[in-house]
Chain A
Amino acid sequence: MAHAFSRKYAIVGLGVLAGRFPERSPRTLEVEAARLAIEDAGLRRQDIDGAINTRIESGSGESHGWTDSFARILGLPTKFYFTVQRGGAMTHLAIVAAAQLLDLGIAKYVVIGYGANDWSSTRDRSEGRGQRHVERAGLWGRPHGDLAAASHHSFFASRHMHEFGTTSEQLGMVAVSHRQWALLNPDAQMHSRPITLEDYMNSPMLVEPYRMLDCCLVSDSGAAFVMTTAERARDLPKPPVHVLGVGFGEAMQQLWWDKQNYTHLAVDTAKEAAFGQADLGLQDVDVAELYDCFTMEVILQLEGYGWCGVGEGGPFVAAGAIAPGGKLPVNTGGGLLSCQYMADWTPFTEAVIQLRGDGGERQVPGAKVGLVSGHGGEILRPGMCSIHSTLLLGTEV
């Protein structure tokens, strides 16, 4: 039986700006996305009585010091405004918080936002260009040259290749499959840039075993959504996307003390909670929007959720299973690898688009249930990318 939480809340408005906005601050991108989301929901600004800001980073990055809020700038008459901050699982944590505030009757319509200028900030970097996840201060590996997410994240690939014989070509097929989806998505940064496996193998080796094409994109972005009760959602113009279930997992102990081989993410408890609340099974998932910061994370999740056996993710992907036309539609907009980087906002927004039937050429016909995953939240360098989260969204109550 489904949990009382399941299907009680819905996403009713969505605003997404992603790509390159060198002339815009991340705050302005968040404000504008929130404006679009409220408009998309068919609401007026004065209807919004709750606001939540989400951020990836703790203790570093431009947004850390924000003292202003998108809610003030938009003039929203909110009863609360606060920040949810946890890399890679922001939307899922914010949904849990918003649900409670809606349940308590504190708010009727909550807008949740995000803004980043990751691409613009890499254009002018005295410390050298590259990924935005270049740590500024404080974390363990800096003096040893562990300066980028591609470095410590590559330990997942190092271990999986060691234990299961996963190959570069199989990682390459993750990249190629994502790009094939991006070619169907006019909003993807890599929409007009097809790649072959040969292109992947020839792309520059950055942090072996990771090549450039194993790494996600860098984007400027603003994103926002409006959440309300399923009951109120019925009166709004867009087809509601219901929250069916949500769950979380933490692997900080496993990764650091138990050294659980780094071939396993904290999927188990997240999956169990989300599917349990929803009273659904893996076979009910029509689209899987998985957190794909690097290619290996996709393989680990395919195995962790049980779409293929442990250690079999490489051959599964190499057979074309996650590409357009494959048996499991994964990251149908191109994902972090080929659409845009908005952390878990990328898979989240794509799931909403698919479940509304707004996917255009990339639409998965009849998609009713979407799985969104969150991943990340490094606690301690190196390699403690410990959080995993599962969100199930669906079209019908």
Chain B
Amino acid sequence: MAWDKPLPNIDLDNQPFWEGLRRHELLVFRCKRCGASYWPVAYCRGCPAEPFYGNMEWQPASGRGAVFAFNIHRFAFHPSFKEDLPYVYALVTLDEGPNFGTNIIGCDPEDVRVGMRVEVVYEDMQPDEGDPFTLAKFRPI
């Protein structure tokens, strides 16, 4: 898919996450000691901290969750989103725990509800300039 929208912010901290999306894996940052999951990177709140996230690793999530909060965009704050109106931007609580900001697709925006179960959908993008990337969006289960 071509891409004329704002590009994702890929930096040293979240690069493994974006590489995971290229493989169609939704990664969370998980504690090897207690299994608690975070997104994006964080020291585990329940365990002793080891240098540079020593006890943490990026691991695939189930890709399922529930809508925590959402809005329906009826105005495009960037012209490239006009074609998508109306679109839903939501916070999805992943089954592993963290909240994740994403779009809800594959249904009428009017049908989105708080608590609705959703699953990840991968969209591969190719910008005119630069490297391809993948977005993780969600659709109703």
Contacts and interface: CB of A to CB of B under 8 A. Distances in A.
B91 A155 contact: yes
A145 B9 contact: no
A128 B76 contact: yes
A25 interface: no
B91 A145 contact: no
B7 interface: yes
Interface string A100-141: 000000000000000000000000000110110010011111
Contact of A205 (B68, B74, B114, B137): B74
Interface in A147-171: 147-148, 151-152, 154-155, 158-159, 162
Interface residues of A, number: 40
Interface in B77-130: 77-79, 81, 84, 86-87, 89, 91, 93, 98-99, 101-103, 114, 125
B22 to A, nearest CB: 14
Contacts of B53: none
Contact of B101 (A144, A207, A257, A262): A144
Given A142-B6, A143-B6, A381-B101, A130 B69 contact: no
A315 interface: no
Nearest to B3: A143
Contacts of A155: 68-71, 91
Nearest to B39: A256
Given A128-B79, A134-B77, A382-B101, A154 B71 contact: yes
A383 B84 CA distance: 22
Contacts of B42: 257
A209 interface: yes
Contacts of B38: 257
A140 B76 CA distance: 17
A144 B89 contact: yes
Tier of interface size on chain B? 35 or more
Nearest to B137: A144
A213 to B, nearest CB: 13
A279 interface: no
A210 B71 contact: yes
A145 B137 CA distance: 12
B74 A207 contact: yes
Contacts of B68: 155, 159, 259
B70 A158 contact: yes
B73 A151 contact: yes
A205 B69 CA distance: 18
A139 B9 contact: yes
B61 interface: no
Given A142-B6, A144-B89, A158 B73 contact: no
Contacts of B40: 380
B99 A256 contact: yes
Contacts of A257: 38, 42, 45, 98
B71 A208 contact: yes
Given A138-B9, A148-B77, A382-B91, 18 more contacts: A137-B9, A142-B6, A143-B125, A144-B103, A147-B6, A147-B81, A151-B71, A151-B77, A152-B89, A158-B69, A204-B74, A206-B75, A208-B71, A208-B72, A210-B71, A257-B42, A382-B101, A383-B99
15 contacts: A128-B76, A137-B6, A138-B9, A139-B9, A144-B103, A152-B89, A155-B69, A155-B71, A159-B114, A207-B71, A207-B75, A208-B86, A209-B71, A257-B98, A383-B69
Give 10 closest A-B pairs by Cβ, nearest first. Answer: A382-B101, A142-B6, A208-B72, A155-B69, A147-B77, A158-B69, A148-B77, A154-B71, A206-B75, A162-B114
